[in-house]
Chain A
Amino acid sequence: MPNHLYRLTANEVAHGIKNREFSAQEYISQILERIEKVDNKINAFIVVDKQGAMEKARSIDKRLHEGDYVGDLVGVAVGIKDNICIKELKTTCASKILEGYIPPYDASVIKRLKEKDAIVVGKLNLDEFAMGSTTEFSKYGPTRNPWNLDYVAGGSSGGSAASVAASECAVSLGSDTGGSIRCPSSFCSVVGLKPTYGCISRSGLISYSNSLEQIGPLGKTVLDVVMVMNAIAGIDENDQTTRPMTPTLPSEDIPTSNRLSKYTANQNKRNIDIGLVKELIEGADPVVSKCIYSAVDLFESSDCKCEETSMKSIQYALASYYTIATAEASSNLARYDNIRYGFDYNPEGYEWNTYFSNVRNNFGDEVKRRIIIGSYVLSAGYYGKYYLKAHMARERIRQEIKSLFEKFDVLIGPTMPILPFKIGEKLDDPLKMYQIDIDTVIANLAGIPAISIPIGFSNSLPVGLQIMADEMCEQTLFDVASFFEKIVDIRRSADI
């Protein structure tokens, strides 16, 4: 039995268990030990479901022993961002408000992971209600960057990225509203995908901004991300905004037998037309853009065509994003009144309005800020000035991106304009914090898929490359990402 099972990729775990090289129980106990050992430093987990994980591992081993069928993700330890509901497991959104909330149902993605025999090991830390870019706004304290514990892990899916980088689970699920999967993936040197809007069911994802957000996988390799996508993507009757998984190529080019073909990570695609988004590279810290340019060199030396291009509507992206996101958030978060569920707070002696405002005072500052901004931009007299304008800007961005994809297969740039920074460094300036989302919000506004892959380190801190493709063209992203992965080997497991 290999010594460090916990370091294995999802693909290696599933093969190892299927081929009886080691048992699911051996693997999961190593994972649980690893969490026990390192998570006090990382703080990636809010809840570890030891008992549930061990039980599932036992049942898998039993089925394997009896020669029964097992799913594609058999035994793989998965961490779940704590804004995705798991039946009978506390789901807090890292908020005091949901401290005592136990969902009575599984999110659709959880059902699908369970069907594929993945093992959910626990719930992962995030910024409260996924509002933030560093995982510092959590009731459970900040998640630390496994590459340097003094640094932020990125956010809001900080726990999802850090847990994978620290080998506390093989893969994880995050959610991405404006970069919340890609930002921490970049900061922690892992692969993270924000899929096309409608590609993955949001049923069971606690809404922050419905029209922007998607659940997505994080892993050490492109293949791991692909495996999780194959398990969770596709139309779902519990989310009417989902779409069927469609092939990347125009349907007439695909033989009918391949219509339902899954994503792959083994294509060695050449002659890719890559658009280098000028505005994104110019806006980045020089140490970051240096890494991007060396990635560009690598692509070019491998027969890819890289061409600089411009996306003028980027100037509206942040304003549009924060207007729409906060507007939707202000409405989504209205339901937390502690009447039906929530936290322990006795209503005795309060009149309703007082009780209600006392309850809602338990949101963190960042959440309150966004509720207030969102209520403002929707209010009578300002709706046209802010909310409608934001939608017009969004439409313009969408159109410009559409026309860019007539020319390019993918668009690339840095995932984050800066390197990971120290915990606490940007906490006192919300606007500065919002600005670091500039590169990632575009994909959410346009509804297109985007992936962040590790491309190197600067000052021992990870740098990520963001690749964007046209909607429903996840396969193109995987092709380009796995192509890059094959030519350069970047570390994805932090020593800790």
Chain B
Amino acid sequence: MVEAKIGLEIHCQLTGLQSKLFCPCKSDYRGEVPNTTVCPICLGLPGTLPLLNQRAVAFASMISLALGCKVQERVMFYRKNYFYLDLPKNFQITQYNAYGITSIGAEGKVELGTRSIRIRRVQLEEDPGRLIYENADVNSSFYTLIDYNRAGVALVEIVTEPDFDNPRDVRIFLNKVTSTIEHLGVCDTRLDGSLRCDVNVSLKGGKKVEIKNINSFRDVEKALGYEIARQKTMSIREIEVKSETRHWDDARKITIQSRSKEEEQDYRYFPEPDIPTIILGDQFISSLRAKMPELPDERKNRFLKDYTLSDHVAKVLIDNKELADFFESTIRLYPSSPNEIANWIISDLLGLVDDSRKEESSLLSGLGIKPKHIAELVKMIDQNKINRNIAKSILSQIARTGEMPSYVIDNMNASIIDSESKIAEAIDSIFKLEISAVRDAKHNPNATNFLLGKVMQMTGGRADPKITLNLIKARLAIMQ
């Protein structure tokens, strides 16, 4: 087995901020008319200066702490110089670890079961604008449109050391990071493009290949699987793996060589003179720690302790903050059976989620099921009012209608009359009213159906038709 070395570069938009990283423009650009959430600063107009958003620094520091990083005393920004159409100033204000100056967070560690992943750095930087090509293929496009609404939105870049050796661990790690960011409330990871990931992968002794353009975290695992297989095949055939940047082709699910030759770029980093050095210090860090919300690991431990959940169940809940929140909201309504509730959420509730939805991070928004539904359902099971099979069918109805379980059950009871005596009463009355039809029915099956229809009509469609028909036939047989 050839050993793989995988490292990640995660970009997380701080959608929890009201304004952009260096100007007062609205940070939420989604759905806005192009080039409307812009100002002279984020357009990089001559003479403008960046005005650092202090909350962004706090958010990035929280992420750093959550990922076990040291938060630096002195923080500076750097300019990364390169020419690109989506970059209004033709340089990006970012951070850089060199010459004794570091990014906000550095040297972190994330525990992943039995192993740990080292975090090289956590840094703040600005998002570029968005390019919209005429055609999907850049080269065949006659024009390119630029939307600067996204330009200047605050991004946190998380860089890991190449500590992964398989794609599965990468997925587990990404789930954990996503959940952490969600718990911190700094980023709504459900928004399209709010969380992006580049990966680099090399096989033992081989050159490093970077893969960009992986748009969803689910595809990261696939892209890595493909790339590892590709590199293995090449080394078996003794073809040298080049150090290069490849793109993930979302449609074909393969990695392809980048069109643009991204040779060793010289970014000419140097300290950004317009942003004074920020001194964070112990006091800032301890006040930040005090304000930090509960993190996934802490929450999981609490779940294990307070609700005596199994490790697996707790993990599934915690990995998706939406599920964990759903669980706790349900517990608040009905605290008696946490394990029953957890099982209903992770098996039955998740079973109702469309596979297509699983690609998205928002699992439950399409369903009509709320914590109050699960709470009532579990309560009814506990009270032996319904059994699990009935509860399951009730749940699937709630998913469509959003009705309360008790209401559904009442309706079901009303609609099905399966007691023979009750049906027999109805048949008695119909036989008395429809004497000629009863006579005909002795040799005409149509008349039998007519009688069935009448009984159904009388019971408002609630009689079980099968039982009813049998009873009618039996009654006719006796009369003969």
Residues of A in contact with B (beta carbons under 8 Å apart):
83-85, 91, 93, 98, 101, 103-105, 107, 202-207, 209-211, 237-241, 327-328, 330-331, 334-335, 337, 339-341, 352, 356, 375, 378-380, 383, 387-388
Contacts and interface: CB of A to CB of B under 8 A. Distances in A.
B83 A204 contact: no
A203 B47 contact: yes
B276 A210 contact: no
B90 A210 contact: no
B89 A241 contact: no
A340 B43 CA distance: 8
B47 A103 contact: yes
Contacts of A330: 81, 268
A337 B84 CA distance: 10
Contacts of A340: 43-45, 88
22 contacts: A103-B40, A103-B45, A105-B40, A203-B48, A204-B47, A207-B46, A207-B47, A209-B273, A211-B273, A239-B274, A240-B50, A240-B275, A241-B273, A331-B79, A331-B270, A334-B83, A335-B46, A339-B146, A340-B44, A356-B83, A379-B266, A379-B268
Contact of B91 (A105, A210, A211, A334): A334
Given A202-B49, A205-B47, A241 B274 contact: yes
Contact of B89 (A334, A352, A375): A334
Contacts, number: 98
A388 B276 CA distance: 18
Interface string B39-57: 0100111111111100000
Contacts of A331: 79, 81, 91, 268, 270
B43 A240 contact: no
Contacts of B229: none
Given A356-B83, A375-B268, A335 B44 contact: yes
B146 A239 contact: no
B273 A98 contact: no
Contacts of A352: 85
- Residue from B44, B270, B276 with most neighbouring chain A CB atoms (10 Å): B270
B99 interface: yes
Given A91-B47, A205-B47, A207-B274, 7 more contacts: A84-B47, A240-B50, A240-B51, A335-B90, A340-B45, A356-B83, A378-B81
A204 B40 CA distance: 10
A493 B98 CA distance: 53
Interface string B264-295: 00101110011110000000000000000000
B81 to A, nearest CB: 5
Interface in B240-274: 266, 268-270, 273-274
Contacts of B91: 331, 334-335
Contacts of B48: 203-204
A380 B270 CA distance: 11
Contacts of B44: 335, 340
A102 to B, nearest CB: 11
B88 A335 contact: yes
The binding surface of chain B is classed by DSSP as: loop
Given A103-B46, A238-B51, A240-B51, A328 B273 contact: yes
A380 B266 CA distance: 6
A225 B47 CA distance: 23
A282 B49 CA distance: 40
B37 to A, nearest CB: 15
Contacts of A206: 46-47
A203 B49 contact: yes
Nearest to B146: A339
B126 to A, nearest CB: 14
Contacts of A335: 44, 46, 88-91
Interface residues of B, number: 29
A378 B270 contact: yes
A378 B46 contact: no
Contacts of A380: 266, 268
Contacts of A209: 273
Interface in B85-128: 85, 88-91, 99
B40 A210 contact: no
Contacts of B49: 202-203, 238-241
A356 B49 CA distance: 24
A205 B266 CA distance: 28
Which of B51, B81, B274 has the most chain A CB atoms closer than 10 A to its own CB? B274
Nearest to B81: A331
A105 B41 CA distance: 11
A168 to B, nearest CB: 24
Nearest to A341: B45
B270 A387 contact: yes
A240 B90 contact: no
Contacts of A210: 273-274
B96 to A, nearest CB: 11
Closest 10 CB pairs of A and B: A334-B90, A211-B273, A210-B273, A378-B268, A206-B46, A204-B47, A85-B47, A206-B47, A335-B89, A380-B266
Chain B CB within 10 A, most for which of A85, A335, A388: A335
A151 B279 CA distance: 49
A91 B46 contact: yes
A435 to B, nearest CB: 25
Contacts of B89: 334-335
A206 B48 CA distance: 8
A331 B88 CA distance: 12
Contact of B83 (A237, A327, A337): A337
A107 B47 contact: yes
Contacts of B83: 334, 337, 356
Query: B47, B50, B52, B79 — which one has the most chain A CB atoms within 10 A of its CB?
Result: B47
Contacts of B51: 237-238, 240
Contacts of B88: 335, 340
Nearest to B275: A240
Contacts of B46: 85, 91, 93, 98, 101, 103, 206-207, 335, 341
A206 B49 CA distance: 10
B418 to A, nearest CB: 75
A34 B83 CA distance: 46
Contacts of A383: 268-270
Given A241-B274, A241-B276, A339-B146, A104 B40 contact: yes
A356 B90 CA distance: 12
A282 B99 CA distance: 37
Nearest to A212: B273
A334 B87 CA distance: 10
Q: Which of A103, A331, A337, A352 is packed against the most chain B CB atoms within 10 Å?
A: A331
Nearest to B99: A388
A337 B83 CA distance: 9
Contacts of A240: 49-52, 274-276
Nearest to B90: A334
A356 B79 CA distance: 21
Nearest to B278: A240
A84 B79 CA distance: 23
A91 B48 CA distance: 14
A71 to B, nearest CB: 24
A255 to B, nearest CB: 30
Nearest to B22: A240
Nearest to B40: A105
A240 B50 CA distance: 8
Contacts of B269: 378, 383
Nearest to A243: B276
B123 to A, nearest CB: 19
Given A206-B47, A328-B273, A337 B268 contact: no
Contacts of A339: 85, 146
A201 B464 CA distance: 85
Nearest to B51: A240
